[in-house]
Structure 1
């Protein structure tokens, strides 16, 4: 098994030291129900290697672990015909509300009228053409 962190909850789930409700598992990833169950079927997918978050992924890590996103999303969607959408997200870093510091992806099934609100904000009125150009150029310079 790849390098794991003995103090990490998700590493303990991978090794079986901590209980989980597994829905999919292979040599690369494990997917299991999130105990919060924001909506029925809310699932987490974790790589079977301790990676803190996407900032620490190599291109090879991304290719190896993220290829399972469509497979897991489609299985969750098929389990309940009432599912009409899905939020697929990852919180990266404490300031982005990452609680367990092991990379994981949330699959949150969505139902018409489920009342769940994902908080965002629109700051478009605060940006000029020059502001957009400046931010885009600064990001481009980092590639």
Structure 2
């Protein structure tokens, strides 16, 4: 379906919707931390192009989900980074459920977490 020097994209063998595509970097990387930024950019560019084609024709989709699971706790089942491009239709029955989401944090909790992330990002090499 799509291949270049950096990525390959192909239909998922177990699609959640018709036209479900996987975009995979050619360079092996188990998780996002292992993926060099240029390879990640190439994955995003290919997914962006595929999603734009899907959105351009209402027969393909009325929307698109991009999904990437990074790590076992996040549901990653394959030991190689890959980005799902999932065409969506209003009546497709697919639901992203947040039933297990904890109660909404307070403004103070959000500010505290944001400050921690900002500190971590600033200390990156």
TM-score interval, normalised by the smaller of the two chains: 0.7 to 0.9
Residue of structure 1 aligned with 2:49, choices 71, 83, 90: 71
Task: Tell me the SS of whatever aligns to 1:31.
Answer: strand
Flag structure 1 segments of 5+ consecutive residues without an equivalent.
1-22
Asked if structure 1 preserves the Cα contact closer than 8 Å seen for 2:60 and 2:87, the reply is no
Mapping of 1:89-100 within 5 angstroms?
Answer: 89-100=67-78
> Partners of 2:36 and 2:49 in 1: how far apart?
22
TM-score, normalised with respect to structure 2: 0.84
Task: Tell me the SS of whatever aligns to 2:62.
Answer: strand
| Change in 2 beyond 3 A, CA 1:78/1:130 | closer
CA deviation string 1:61-116 (max 9, x = no partner): 32343222211212344566251001111000011111111110001111121111
Aligned length: 120
TM-score, normalised with respect to structure 1: 0.74
What's the counterpart of residue 17 of structure 2? 39
| Change in 2 beyond 3 A, CA 1:26/1:82 | closer
1:124 Cα deviation from its structure 2 partner: 4.8
Task: Tell me the SS of whatever aligns to 2:9.
Answer: strand
Asked if structure 2 preserves the Cα contact closer than 8 Å seen for 1:55 and 1:92, the reply is no
